Structure 1
């Protein structure tokens, strides 16, 4: 059980595996008024940057679950680097269906709602670990405006324009699911650049070092098309944000 190798190649230099920056995570932590001892569960926790920096800055405790062995090892190393390994546990495992042993104060899934087959299922999954009155965090893409055609949608990782909602539509959807939206922090085009454009250098350096690898042709194809697709479609049309929810 592991993440396909192309993901770890593509994001090999990343500490954050979504369109957030360290500053965005810091803003989110302050916005949530995290208190020392807050218990956080992070499903699909990646390299553990959110939990590790929040443990350092806010003295939270937490558990991260991720299917990638590479990212889980990086998360443990990051917690040790920041001196917070005693407050955090990183588990290699499938986040889909994972429920905390004891209710937590904050249950999060940022950018991986496929673990619940979409927003609704992920909210239901997170709710199973959340204490009454706790906060749920969901990170999710949205359309920044009208999507002109299916070609644009496909270039933005969607099969059709209906796969993602607009920002108002996503906020309304959370309400329809029975949750109050109580905070949000959104990525911007600069933070998208840092996530997407940094992948191109990772891919090129890997390709130069591994020209005979079985994934070389796939990496070459991504480098041939990825930057232009991002500049033409994704940067203009695709948004992303983290939404803090409280069940009604």
Structure 2
């Protein structure tokens, strides 16, 4: 049980595996007005940057669950680096099957709503761990500009234009699921650049160090095509944000 090796190669230089910068992640933590001792569950926690920095900056405690052995190891090391290993724990496992043994104050899934089969299923999954009156975080793409061609749709990692809503459609969907949107922090094109463009340097350095690796031809093809595809399609069409929700 693990992520494809190509994914961990591509994002091995990232601490945040979504189009948020350090500043946006910190802004989200401040916006939520987190209390010391607040209990957090982060499903698909990646390299643990959210839990680790919020434990340092706000005094939260919690658990992250991720399917990647590589990123889970990074998260544990980051907790030690920031001096919060006594406050956060990271489990290697299937986040789609994880429910907290005790209700938490904040339950999150940032950028991995596939674990619930989409937004509605992920909301229902997180509900199972959230205390009454708690806060839920969902990170999800939306269309900044609706693509008009099949090529543009596929370049944005969608199988259909209906895979993602507009921004107002996403907010409306949360309402239809019975939740108030009480905060949001959105990625912008600069933070998208930091996420995507950083992958290209990581891939290039990996290729230089591993020219004979069996993965090298596929990674070479990605580096050749990804920058043009990104600036032509994804940068213009695809948005991403984290939405804070509370049950009505």
TM-score exceeds 0.5: yes
- Give CA-to-partner distance per residue, 1:92-140, whole Å, 9 cap, x none: 0010121000000000000000000000000000000000000000000
1:96 counterpart SS class: helix
1:29 counterpart SS class: helix
Following the alignment from structure 1 to structure 2, what is the Cα–Cα distance between the partners of residues 126 and 92?
Answer: 18
Following the alignment from structure 1 to structure 2, what is the Cα–Cα distance between the partners of residues 182 and 234?
Answer: 28
Residue matched to 2:139: 139
Following the alignment from structure 1 to structure 2, what is the Cα–Cα distance between the partners of residues 148 and 6?
Answer: 29
Following the alignment from structure 2 to structure 1, what is the Cα–Cα distance between the partners of residues 230 and 131?
Answer: 40
Following the alignment from structure 1 to structure 2, what is the Cα–Cα distance between the partners of residues 150 and 172?
Answer: 26
Would you say the 8 A contact 1:149–1:161 is kept in 2? no
What is the CA distance between 1:166 and its match in structure 2? 0.5
Would you say the 8 A contact 1:48–1:74 is kept in 2? yes
Query: Runs (4+) of structure 1 moved beyond 4 Å?
Result: none
Residue matched to 1:74: 74
Following the alignment from structure 1 to structure 2, what is the Cα–Cα distance between the partners of residues 177 and 147?
Answer: 26
Residue matched to 1:127: 127
Q: Structure 1 residues 143-152 or 164-173, which shifts more? A: 143-152
Stretches of structure 1 that go unaligned for 5 or more consecutive residues are: none
What is the CA distance between 1:212 and its match in structure 2? 1.1
Once the two structures are superposed, the pairs formed by residues 32-43 of structure 1 within 5 Å of their partners are 32-43=32-43
Once the two structures are superposed, the pairs formed by residues 10-29 of structure 1 within 5 Å of their partners are 10-29=10-29
Following the alignment from structure 1 to structure 2, what is the Cα–Cα distance between the partners of residues 149 and 232?
Answer: 12
Residue matched to 1:206: 206
- Give CA-to-partner distance per residue, 1:35-63, whole Å, 9 cap, x none: 00000000000000000000000000010
Residue matched to 2:235: 235
Would you say the 8 A contact 1:178–1:247 is kept in 2? yes
Residue matched to 1:160: 160
Following the alignment from structure 1 to structure 2, what is the Cα–Cα distance between the partners of residues 218 and 175?
Answer: 42
Instruction: Give TM-score, length-normalised by structure 1.
Output: 0.99
Residue matched to 2:181: 181
**Aligned residue pair count:** 248
Stretches of structure 2 that go unaligned for 5 or more consecutive residues are: none
Following the alignment from structure 2 to structure 1, what is the Cα–Cα distance between the partners of residues 166 and 79?
Answer: 35
